[in-house]
Amino acid sequence: MTKVGLYFGSFNPVHIGHMAIANYMVEYTEIDQLWFVVSPHNPLKAKTNLLDDYQRLELVVRAIGDDSRFRASSIEFKLPKPSYTVDTLAYLSEEYPHYEFYILMGSDNLETIHKWKNYEFLLANYKILVYPRPESDPAKYLDLSPNIIVTEAPVMDISSTFIRNAIRAGKDVRHFMPAKAADYLMEMNFYKK
């Protein structure tokens, strides 16, 4: 059975921190593939400065390039809004019965998992690969479920917000993003306003 890690996010825009975490997960955990699940709108976040769904998907596609370990997924674009992880997993599990799905999340998200729809079901039925985030201690939450696996992925203190703010300030961000994604972002003049 193929083990697939689902890396949910707005990827607004995708950056080298996302790619480093994805690479770490495929190389150092038991998953075989990683799917970047581009979310239309996280119900726990404001929708300000969010690029169009397909533009963010295109940035992820370009960031992945020809790396066969990764896939860009638009699955949540066709599911009811707002998108909930438990609903996406139900759909994917039915669509791909020979895949075992894992959830990837930052330790900051683990701290708020009790706000997620049907979070008890997620904790009981899916392995959750947690990567460290600054100012967050995932060890406090290990007793929630034996399915929580805290990884030693490198801590990357870079964010999409930082990149958007840098672009608005006229800064060069090309080394904070995979080259093809950065080229597309600059070509389309995203986040300049």
CATH code, domain carrying 86: 3.40.50.620
Please return the burial class of 166, using the count of CB atoms within 10 Å of its CB with bins 0-12, 13-18 and 19+: middle
Per-residue pLDDT tens digits for 81-103: 888 999 999 999 999 999 999 99
The answer to whether 40 touches 8, Cβ cutoff 8 Å, is no
From residue 25, give the alpha-carbon distance in Å to each of 19, 88, 124, 132, 191. Answer: 10, 20, 21, 12, 29
pLDDT of residue 187: 94
- pTM (two decimals): 0.94
For residue 193, being part of any structural domain is answered with: no
For residue 140, being part of any structural domain is answered with: yes
For residue 101, being part of any structural domain is answered with: yes
Domain count, the chain: 1
pLDDT of residue 75: 96
Full domain range(s) for residue 8:
2-156
For residue 13, being part of any structural domain is answered with: yes
For residue 27, being part of any structural domain is answered with: yes
For residue 81, being part of any structural domain is answered with: yes
For residue 91, being part of any structural domain is answered with: yes
For residue 175, being part of any structural domain is answered with: no
Which residue ranges in the chain fall short of pLDDT 50?
none
Q: Verify cis geometry, omega within 30 degrees of 0, for the bond prior to 80.
A: no
Per-residue pLDDT tens digits for 161-190: 999 999 999 999 999 999 999 999 999 999
